[in-house]
Amino acid sequence: MQTKPTKLEIPCCSGPVVGTIRPPGSKSITNRALVCAALADGTSQLTGALDSQDTQVMVRGLEALGIVLDADWKRGHVHVHGCGGNIPATSANINCAASGTTIRFLSAVCGLANGVYQLDGTPRMRKRPIGDLVMAMQQLGVNADTRSEGGCPPIVIHSSGCTGGVAQVAGNISSQFASGLAMVGPCTRDGLTIEFTGTLVSLPYLEMTKLVMQSFGGHCDSTRTHTWRINPTGYQGIEYAIEPDASAASYFVAAAAMTGGRVRIEGLGRSSMQGDVNFCDVLEKMGCSVEWHESPHPGVTVSGRATHGIDIDMNAISDTVPTLAVVALFASEPTHIKNVAHIRDKETDRIRDLATELRKLGAKVTEHPDGLTIYPSPLHKATIQTYDDHRMAMSLSLVGLCVEGVDIIDPSCVAKTFPDYWNRLGDIAHIDLSAYSSKTI
């Protein structure tokens, strides 16, 4: 049995990164589809499902609630026997690990049930606020409470079955609060109205939720500003294909932008439901060429070097902030990233800790309450901490393609959403990362 290295040195690539890649299935779509399929009448067959820690945690959580699922992770197929909105288990202790989507979505699902449920996770999860979701559930008559300071998990739910109603949800912390509530709405007796308060973050993820719900027969009327009305239609089991992960694709197009290469991403086009495909547009503003392909197969090709600094609001594509910050190191002008204060509550504080690690590489970085400014500077070798954050590891590893001596601590954290990342990066950059194959994760 292979031993997992605790540190991975990234070899510099010998030239521009050139190649074609199809990323694994979208984690965000996979977990939304799993929830809708679990609540549906009948069975569903999901194809293209992502095999990762986050999706496996979601499957185990649904199984703890009595849902029957058959997962063939190697093929990306998950067969889900829906419960018709009637949660079988009357009690459950669900370990959500580091999966924010799991604890937020399944907390809402537990509100439909009849019984007592506790959801918990990693030490970092106990620092990620969920109080706004709890308050929304309380407005709907669900007895829910948090057990850590600051309205953080564990969350304990005593439910007698949410019948629907009106709930106000703060929109400035996480779109997943509203997404979790919305997905259970079709299974309530009276339907559900969600009234958003404050500024909404990560709007493309809310649109993604509506599209997935619609595929399973749910309906969300969002014609009124800051109000969603979800009708009590229930869901129907279907065959559902999951598109590749646009957030994962960002690392490979970034590699092209940093080295002046050319990378084609298969399976993602302008019609993708994932907002993070627009990261390619950001690279175009920085000087890359971008070609979109829709027929007969969707795809996007990014080529050339990102040389221009930009001033950009990344609220809608905030998962790609670490990726852009790394690309910005190699531009000829400063880059200012703003309106992403909510990413301080991710797996780590992605503003503070990203600034810390970029400075280790020699970069000049100014941290702001809602973002950061990166000033191109001479870079040098460094040992990079990843804070058990998959996106920190994957994005910061790209610096090693161009700078000698970049070591990544705890490379296994990428398994949260992309277990095969090191193999795929090695293949497209033509570097040897065999010491950290997917088999060792």
Task: Tell me how long the chain is.
Answer: 441
Phi-psi region of 324 (alpha: psi -120 to 50; beta: other; left: phi over 0): alpha
CA distance 278 to 282: 7
Task: Check if 41 is active-site.
Answer: no
Residue 394: in which H helix or E strand, if any?
A: helix 390-397
Q: Which two tokens stand for residue 304?
A: 């050339």
Question: Rounded to 5 degrees, what are φ and ψ at 206?
Answer: -65, -40
- 53-64 helix and 27-39 helix, angle to the nearest 10 degrees: 10
Burial 250-269 (b: 16+ CB within 10 A, else e): bbbbbbbbbbbbbbbbbbbb
User: CB of 155 within 8 A of CB of 180?
Assistant: no
Q: Which two tokens stand for residue 137?
A: 């559930």
Residue tagged active-site, from 245, 319, 353, 389? 319
Q: Which residues are catalytic?
A: 319
